[in-house]
Amino acid sequence: MPELPEVETVRRGLVPALEGARITKAAVNRPDLRWPFPDRMAERLTGATVTTLRRRSKYILADLDTSETLLIHLGMSGRMTISGDPLGQFHHKHPMPAKHDHVVLDTDNGARITFNDARRFGAMDLMDTAQQDQHRLIRDLGPEPFGNDFNEAHLIAAFAGKRSPVKSVLLDQRVVAGLGNIYVCEALFRAGISPLRHAGRISAPRVASLVPIIRDVLAEAIDAGGSSLRDHRQANGELGYFQHTFFVYGREGDSCQTPGCTRKILRKVQSGRSSFYCAACQR
């Protein structure tokens, strides 16, 4: 499942072709993905201009001049690809339609944005821009990792008294929005905190240290174009490469990269997800 860096990478790739462009034609080629598409989706998108392209947690949000916002969730295998971009950053010719091209947007600048999703775990929805904070996928989200509301005091308060493992708390989207399994594992390694440790038993200074570490991990991943493990590709079709710098994720049995450490990376399943860590470096 794409996490914040992958979604942000896709958003940034879409901005030159989609932000400020008018959708001249919208084609919706099936009634649903993970959930049914909204009523008259193609009709409501056709003729609308994308005023701003934003991200909230793991969702791309396209604000329209019709006072609606298009919500895009990539799911496990969803891809947003661009063709015909007049800026010359992408392929000049539109490819032949593919089997899993479910939503296709043609714009007045000659670009075509295609949402392809083989597994159909992605989603799209249209919502009233003024009421977007009440949308069922948005209303319970916690602060953005790069926002001012995600700070030491917030995280210390969120951890206080928690008997759940720190890994589970950080994956709770009500605590911090956009974090997923990969980047929690990497952040906890850098912080020297075991994913098995109860959140409420971690000292306040150590909890506070997670804030800048989480931001650094996410920023580095965005700069690297995200992590391509299975399906993620950037909007220009290229793979991300942050996976080549993982310290622990997916490295079970490999040597710990901390200088002087002779231990191997371990894997433990927590709530159905694999946690990777070094038992010597993370306490």
Average pLDDT, the chain: 91
pLDDT at 237: 57
Q: What is the mean pLDDT of residues 70-76?
A: 94
Percent over 90 (pLDDT), the chain = 81
CA 117 – CA 106 distance, rounded (Å): 18
- Alpha helices by DSSP H, listed for the chain, are 4-18, 41-45, 152-159, 166-171, 181-191, 204-223
> Does a structural domain hold residue 144?
no
Q: Which domain-ending residue is among 134, 166, 181? A: 134
The residue with tokens 């650094």 is: 216
Report the pLDDT value the prediction gives residue 245, as an integer from 0 to 100.
79
Q: Which CATH number do you get for residue 98?
A: 3.20.190.10
Give the pLDDT of residue 227: 66
Beta bridge partners of 127: 69
Query: Which of the four pLDDT bands, split at 50, 70 and 90, describes residue 91?
Result: low
User: What is the per-residue pLDDT for 242?
Assistant: 53
Decide which of 205 and 241 is more confident.
205
Is 123 in contact with 75 (CB distance < 8 Å)?
yes
Regarding whether 18 and 99 lie in a shared domain, the answer is: yes
Residue that is written with structure tokens 């038993």 in the block: 201
Q: Is residue 241 pLDDT above 80, yes or no?
A: no
Judgement on whether residues 158 and 269 belong to the same structural domain of the protein = yes
Q: Which ranges constitute the DSSP H helices of 196-272?
A: 204-223
The 10s digit of each residue's pLDDT in 122-168 is 999 999 999 999 999 999 999 999 999 999 999 999 999 999 999 99
pTM above 0.85, yes or no: yes
Range of the domain at 194: 152-277
Model pLDDT for residues 36-50, shown as the tens digit of each residue: 999 999 999 999 999
* pLDDT value of residue 240: 45
Give the pLDDT confidence score for residue 224 in this predicted structure.
84
| R_g of the chain, CA atoms, integer Å | 20
Residue type at 88 in one-letter notation: G
Residues 117 and 216 in one domain: no
Q: Residue 93 falls within a domain, yes or no?
A: yes
Query: Which among 102, 134, 166 is the end of a domain?
Result: 134
Same domain for 199 and 265? yes
Average pLDDT, stretch 188-198?
98
Burial class (CB in 10 A: 0-12, 13-18, 19+), 172: middle
Please state the rounded mean pLDDT for residues 250-262: 96
Per-residue confidence (pLDDT) for residue 229, from 0 to 100: 45
List active site positions. 2-3, 58, 273
> What pLDDT, on a 0 to 100 scale, did the predictor assign at position 157?
98
Please identify, among 78, 103, 134, the residue that sits at the C-terminal boundary of a domain: 134
Any domain includes 86 = yes
pLDDT in tens, 102-119: 999 999 999 999 999 999
Tell me the mean pLDDT in the region 189-199: 98
Closest to 51 in 3D by CA, of 11, 92, 93, 22 = 22
Q: Any residues with CB less than 8 A from the CB of 137 and at least 6 apart, and which?
A: 59, 71, 73, 125
Q: What CATH number should be reported for the domain holding residue 251?
A: 1.10.8.50
pLDDT at 226 over 80: no
Residue 228: which pLDDT band, with cuts at 50, 70 and 90? very low
Where would I find the beta strands (DSSP E) of 35-100? Answer: 50-56, 59-64, 68-73, 79-83
Residue 261 vs residue 76, higher pLDDT = 261
List the single range of 6-20, 48-62, 125-139 with lowest mean pLDDT: 6-20
Whether the per-residue pLDDT at 218 is higher than 50: the answer is yes
Domain count along the chain:
2
CA distance 65 to 58: 23
- Predicted pLDDT at 212: 98
